[in-house]
Amino acid sequence: MIVIPNLKLAPGADEAALKLLAAKALKLPPEDITDLRIRKKSLDARRKDDIHYVYTVGVTVRGDEQRLVRRCRSAAITHEKTYPIPHVAPPETRPVIVGFGPAGMFAALLLARAGAKPIVLERGPDAQTRSAQIAAFRAGGAFDPECNVQFGEGGAGTFSDGKLNTGTHDARIGFVLAEFAAHGAPEHITYDAKPHIGTDVLVEVVQNLRREVIARGGEVRFGHRMTGLSTQDGRITALTVHSPEGDYTLPAQQVILAIGHSARDTFEILHAQGVPMEPKPFSMGVRIEHRQKDINAAQYGAAAERLPAADYSLSCHLPDESSAYTFCMCPGGEVFAAASEAGGVCTNGMSNSRRDGENANAAVLVTLHPEDFPDKSALGGMYWQRSIEQRAYVCGGGNYHAPAQRVGDFLAGRASTAPGRVQPTYRPGVTWCDLHDVLPARITATLAQALPAFGQKLRGFDDPDAVLTAPETRSSSPVRIVRGDDRCSTGVQGLYPCGEGAGYAGGITSAAVDGLRCAECVIKALQNEA
């Protein structure tokens, strides 16, 4: 298949015209194109008087495609590459994956297709059980530290906007997107410039991925939490596991550690057992909510009525050398309760596939470095996260309500007492207060500069009635589990730190890609042992 970029169509134009544009680019008659598939679609709204979509397409043509690409003499027109699936004989000791978020899930999928019959340990429950428990908690029910937004099938990304765009440039991305689509996500995620699935669809997609892993000889054990590891001569030999049926020892020679960014007890276990770890930069801040129609108007102007819900991405570097940026923008979404520890409050953003809610929300984050952490140990950033979440729990009323404040009041340094035009979406509820009592001064001082700066870039961003809900602490892992070029722990052979929790990814797609990379390393090791 030949890949052709930079084909332009006006909003509402018939995409059938892409065939004519592709034929023109290839200097072929349209009838020589036997198949056309959209590979990328993005909206260019930089000029309000020239809003258009930009496409990349893949086409199959009659004749020698490689020769045709060479004839085009364009570096932009290329031949599409595919992701090869390696194969390995089933090992005597099956590879183990700890965690079934995006990294663990795609590692399991590749290992299963390769014939390695992996065992997956997931501390949380399946997606359906998670959905019911999370809904009950948001309605005011009890909090469960093992069944929440962070733990369970699909990981934290299952209850998010389901964003799949990434800054990672890797050939594996196409494979990840195609597999999501093959397992129930809409086809457009394979080509949208900013693809998203939505929580409502993701719940089914992750179950379908799990079903394939099992059908190919893999095993997924829900409610099984790794509590330790055993080594001999610097190599992993077994894991200790806590399960509903009791504790047991699982022999293991190849372990992919895809624990996610919120498995704090597991970080502590690994650190205590001498697995090399170090603090890494991460970000904390708040979620901000606006009315979606106001964001649409600011981004699209008069064209807002005929375009999808608008998003944004903002950043600024301030005179005091601090920096802030928006993250995980959720058009038409909700601010979500994302705690994973009793007595703590933290927030995240989510939206369903239609993105048709009243509000837009995004994280507004401040970049923090290890030298900023009160505790300089390897787990210092994690302990800082926890202390802020515990403070938020108290300020929220001790009932998992989140502290909230209107932007105008925050900038004026006074507590809020009620909402304005923007109604907060966080459930089980918010407690109006002054967020200066919740967040460290290092963060509030930067936010106080960043909000007006973002208002200059996006009209209305610093609207006095916009709602800030705190804290947003889980944007990424504050810890890196050190690994070498072979993706193996520098301290334990056969242990592969992977994904967001290990400090090597920053979103669903990049975590999935890292899962594939680590699985490839495991397959290579198994092939060498055969």
Nearest CA to 469 among 427, 413, 519? Answer: 427
Give the C-alpha separation, 286 to 366, whole Å: 9
| Residue 61 is assigned to a structural domain of this protein | yes
Is 323 in the same domain as 440?
yes
Is 518 in the same domain as 441?
no
Identify whether 471 is preceded by a cis peptide bond (ω within 30 of 0): yes
Do 421 and 394 touch, CB atoms closer than 8 A? no
Write out pLDDT tens, residues 96-135: 999 999 999 999 999 999 999 999 999 999 999 999 999 9
| Residue 89 is assigned to a structural domain of this protein | no
| Residue 410 is assigned to a structural domain of this protein | yes
Give the pLDDT of residue 167. Answer: 66
DSSP string, 402-467: EEEEEHHHHHHT----S--SSPP--SS-EEE--GGGTS-HHHHHHHHHHHHHHHHHSTTTT-TT-E
Identify whether 95 is preceded by a cis peptide bond (ω within 30 of 0): no
Lowest mean pLDDT of 140-149, 198-207, 375-384, name the range. 198-207
Give the C-alpha separation, 154 to 133, whole Å: 15
Among 79, 108, 139, residue at a domain's last position? 79
CB-based contacts of 233: which residues, under 8 Å, 6+ apart?
none
Give the pLDDT of residue 264. Answer: 97
Do 402 and 392 touch, CB atoms closer than 8 A? yes
Give the pLDDT of residue 423. Answer: 98
Q: Residue 189 is part of which domain span?
A: 96-278+479-529
CB-based contacts of 5: which residues, under 8 Å, 6+ apart?
40, 55, 56, 76, 77
Residue holding tokens 């979440």? 389
In the predicted model, is pLDDT for residue 356 greater than 80? Answer: yes
Q: How many CB atoms lie within 10 A of CB 126?
A: 20
Which structure tokens are listed for 285? 């801040």
pLDDT-derived band of residue 168, with 50, 70 and 90 as boundaries?
A: low
Give the pLDDT of residue 528. Answer: 87
Do 133 and 148 touch, CB atoms closer than 8 A? yes
Lowest mean pLDDT of 193-207, 240-254, 327-341, 381-395, name the range. 193-207
CB-based contacts of 70: which residues, under 8 Å, 6+ apart?
none
Is 335 in the same domain as 360?
yes
Q: What is the mean pLDDT of the chain?
A: 93
| Residue 91 is assigned to a structural domain of this protein | no
Give the pLDDT of residue 8. Answer: 93
Is 74 in the same domain as 10?
yes
Nearest CA to 41 among 174, 168, 194? Answer: 194
Give the pLDDT of residue 450. Answer: 98
Give the C-alpha separation, 243 to 246, whole Å: 5
| Residue 87 is assigned to a structural domain of this protein | no
Is 285 in the same domain as 271?
no
Do 337 and 321 touch, CB atoms closer than 8 A? no
pTM assigned to the model: 0.89
Q: What is the DSSP letter of 187?
A: G
Q: What is the DSSP letter of 391?
A: H
Question: HSE of 519 in the Cβ direction (CA atoms, 13 Å)?
Answer: 35
In the predicted model, is pLDDT for residue 165 greater than 80? Answer: no
Average pLDDT estimate for 461-484: 97
SS3 labels along 213-250: HHHCCCEEEECCEEEEEEEECCEEEEEEEECCCCCEEE
| Pairing mode of beta strands 225-232, 235-242 | antiparallel
Among 16, 46, 79, residue at a domain's last position? 79
SS3 labels along 324-361: EEEEEEECCCEEEECCCCCCCCCEEEECCCCCCCCEEE
Task: Report the length, in residues, of the chain.
Answer: 530
Is 407 in the same domain as 315?
yes
Write out pLDDT tens, residues 422-446: 999 999 999 999 999 999 999 999 9
Is 270 in the same domain as 218?
yes
pLDDT-derived band of residue 170, with 50, 70 and 90 as boundaries?
A: confident
| Pairing mode of beta strands 219-222, 119-122 | parallel
Do 177 and 164 touch, CB atoms closer than 8 A? yes
Q: Which residue has the higher pLDDT, 529 or 153?
A: 153
Is 375 in the same domain as 517?
no
Residue holding tokens 């297709």? 113
Give the pLDDT of residue 98. Answer: 98
| Residue 118 is assigned to a structural domain of this protein | yes
Q: How many CB atoms lie within 10 A of CB 513?
A: 25
Q: CA-CA distances (angstroms) from residue 178 to 4, 190, 264? A: 19, 6, 32
Is 122 in the same domain as 229?
yes
Q: What is the DSSP letter of 502?
A: T
Using only C-alpha atoms, the chain has a radius of gyration, in whole angstroms, of 24
Do 62 and 468 touch, CB atoms closer than 8 A? no
Q: What is the CATH number of the domain that holds 24?
A: 3.30.70.2700
Average pLDDT estimate for 250-273: 97
- State how many domains the chain has: 3
Among 79, 110, 130, residue at a domain's last position? 79
Give the pLDDT of residue 459. Answer: 96
Question: HSE of 15 in the Cβ direction (CA atoms, 13 Å)?
Answer: 11
Which structure tokens are listed for 279? 């603090």
φ/ψ (deg, to 5) at 328:
55, 55
Q: Which residue has the higher pLDDT, 82 or 114?
A: 114
Do 525 and 254 touch, CB atoms closer than 8 A? yes
| Residue 84 is assigned to a structural domain of this protein | no
Is 408 in the same domain as 313?
yes
In the predicted model, is pLDDT for residue 160 greater than 80? Answer: no
Give the pLDDT of residue 515. Answer: 97
Lowest mean pLDDT of 197-206, 309-318, 321-330, 402-411, name the range. 197-206
DSSP string, 113-179: HHT---EEEESS--HHHHHHHHHHHHTT----TTSSSSSSTT-GGGGS--B---S---THHHHHHHH
Q: What is the CATH number of the domain that holds 163?
A: 3.50.50.60
| Residue 344 is assigned to a structural domain of this protein | yes
* 48: exposed, middle or buried (Cβ count in 10 Å: 0-12, 13-18, 19+): exposed
Is 238 in the same domain as 224?
yes
Is 119 in the same domain as 219?
yes
